[in-house]
Amino acid sequence: METKPRILIIDDEEVVLDSCSQILKGSGYQLEIADNGVRGVELVQEFQPDLVFVDLKMPGISGFEVLEKVREIDATIVTVVITGFATVSSAVDAMKKGAYDFLPKPFTPDEFRMIARRGIERRRLMLETIALRREKELLREQFASIVSHELKAPLGAVQQNLFALDLELEQTLTSSQKIKMERIMVRIAELLKLINSWLRVISVDINKLKDGFTQLSITKPVSNALESVAALAERKNIEIVSSINAELPPILGDAISLAEVFVNILSNSIKYSPDGTRVVLNAGVQGQNLVTSIQDAGIGISPEDLPHIFEGFFRGKSGQAMAGHGIGLAVARQIVDAHHGSISATSELGKGTTFLVTLPIFVKD
Amino acid sequence: MTKRLLMIDDDPDFVSGIKAILDTGGFEVDVAYNPKDGLAALQTKQYDLLLLDIMMGRGAEGIMIARKLRKDARLRELPVLILTGMREQIAFLFPGEPIHPRFVEIDELVEKPVEPKLLLEKVNSLIAAAETKKAGRK
Ligand SMILES: Nc1ncnc2c1ncn2[C@@H]1O[C@H](COP(=O)(O)OP(=O)(O)O)[C@@H](O)[C@H]1O
């Protein structure tokens, strides 16, 4: 059985409350009334209305305040303001602040019924939209699990068997056969990596990271990241110079995912820099924040591309020549966001790029 | 003495890849393709190590097994190597930095697929850790 739509009317004039109750009697709505703002707000909590009529001019807390409170409690509740003719302009103000409609006094029963019906319809649509959005989210999660089961698991099984085969044939294969074998395994490893990074983007609720936040020094994720990219840097003969020391104030966060942030930025710095150049890491206090900078002398990012590099699945002109998926920086940004920090980049084509990771300093309370 | 291992994993192809490597390494490997058979094997036979898949059947059924192990005075001592395909759930693995979920006293987690050298290394070191622990108590 469908529940009856709920309407709340908040007005200090008894006549208005009475006539509204009268009009809506028997029309399939559940009705509550309040003769002042404070009681009205209480009822919003208890009664959980779909639609609230609010008189703008009441003694005590004003209609505007009530509107604001309603929105704080549940932004999907539809509000309609009741006003006298003289105060139509304040009705406009109210609608600018999110009221859906207004009901001018005096009103006929038909006018009131119509506005009530429209308000209820509006609420229904809002809830439906939210439900649809949720459904989409579920589908997204579903998609992630399909990707992991139907794609990743078989590929993993293939790779596992290749590993075994490679081991068993160690003494048998010629060197050119070994090279082919190696090529297959490398390509599969790359595919697995790609699937992992997709999954990372679509399935991981980065906000859940917050449950595991601890007080830590930025040196931990930075040095973990440096370790991770060391081989990559060596291959390109790029020297990474870090002047980050342990003296810095602590931050609150998740060391593993922060390391991922730095790995993603650093591997770009290496990837998009010519051989033999330097990457410079620095960190310092700026106000309430700890700012870490990663500066490269690479190919740079064009001004058109720069605003988009954190968006996800975006590959700049500079990126197109290289292997990549346009995911690293999007993930980095999500992680930094979850830490209540920010990430930004400045760049000059042909000169290099500097990334800044800003994280709030941990304060004991 | 030959070490005896039990592997619980519902993907036969994956299992064959792992088993072949362990065979080469001189281990004796029993396989169970579902948690039920796995638990039955654990009850009836003595093993030196368990290789456990986490995501089986309709979800994280491997975790249930780990829970059962923890409650069993004898099985609690069994070292467990957890194999998981759910990399994104465990965030970011550092090269060389081991992950110990502590489902049981001695365990370690590695990602699927796992390279032969790493697999044999982990199996050997977990068995050694369990033996050291046992010897220390005597
Ligand atoms: N240090 C850098 N120097 C030049 N371009 C960069 C740098 N870092 C990122 N970019 C640009 O930003 C894009 C997005 O980066 P990212 O999300 O890591 O994906 P990708 O896998 O393509 O590197 C890249 O394709 C590249 O064009």
What is residue B95's predicted lDDT score, i.e. its pLDDT? Answer: 43
What domains can be seen in chain B, in order of their start residue?
A: 4-137 (3.40.50.2300)
A343 by DSSP, 3-state: which?
strand
Residue in chain A closest to B24 (alpha carbons) equals A168
For residue A193, tell me if it sits in a domain.
yes
- For residue range B57-83, list pLDDT tens digits in order: 666 788 888 888 988 988 999 999 998
pLDDT of residue A267: 93
Verify that A154 and A218 share a domain, yes or no: no
Q: What DSSP character marks residue A150?
A: I
- A120 belongs to a structural domain: no
Q: Which CATH number characterizes residue A52's domain?
A: 3.40.50.2300
Residue A74 or A149, more confident: A74
Is A203 part of the contact surface with chain B (CB cutoff 8 Å)? yes
Residue A1 has pLDDT above 50, yes or no: no
For residues A199 and A213, membership in a common domain is answered with no
Q: Do A161 and B20 touch (CB under 8 A)?
A: yes
Question: Domain end: A86, A107, A128, which one?
Answer: A107
Among chain B residues, the shortest Cα distance to A166 is held by: B116
Among A270, A309, A349, the mutation site with the greatest number of ligand 1 atoms within 8 A of its Cβ is: A309
Asked if the structure places residue A256 within a domain, the reply is yes
**Cβ atoms A285, A249 nearer than 8 A:** yes
Contact, B24 vs A167, CB < 8 A? Answer: yes
| Rounded distance between C-alpha atoms, residue A214 and residue A235, angstroms | 34
Size of chain A, expressed as the number of residues it contains? 365
Q: Pick from A57, A85, A107: which residue ends a domain? A: A107
Q: What pLDDT was estimated at residue A325?
A: 65
Q: Total domain count for chain A? A: 3
Q: Which residues of B touch A154 (CB under 8 A)?
A: 13
Whether residues A32 and A161 share a domain: the answer is no
Which residues constitute the domain of residue A180? 138-203
Q: Residue A66 and residue A11: Cα distance in Å, rounded?
A: 11
- DSSP for A304-337 reads TTGGGTTSSS---HHHHTS---S-HHHHHHHHHH
Separation between Cα atoms, residue B60 and residue B56, nearest integer Å:
6
pLDDT < 70 regions, chain B: 57-59, 86-97, 138
Q: Answer with the one of A157, A177, A203 that is the final residue of a domain.
A: A203
- Please tell me the distance in Å from B23's CA to the nearest CA on chain A: 10
Tell me, yes or no, whether A128 lies in a domain: no
ipTM: 0.84
Angle (CA) A319 A350 A266, round 5°: 50
Q: How many CB atoms lie within 10 A of CB A85?
A: 9
Residue A132 maps to a domain: no
Q: pLDDT per residue over A299-338, tens digit each?
A: 999 999 998 898 876 666 666 656 666 778 988 998 899 9
Tens digit of each residue's pLDDT (9 = 90 or more) over A158-204: 999 999 999 999 999 999 999 999 999 999 998 888 887 777 666 66
Residue written as tokens 């509204």? A20
Tens digits of residue pLDDT in A4-38 = 999 999 999 998 899 999 998 888 899 999 999 99
Is the pTM above the cut of 0.80? no
Give how far Cα A231 sits from Cα of A195, A213, A238, A270, B105, Å: 23, 29, 10, 11, 34
Q: Are residues A270 and A352 in the same domain?
A: yes
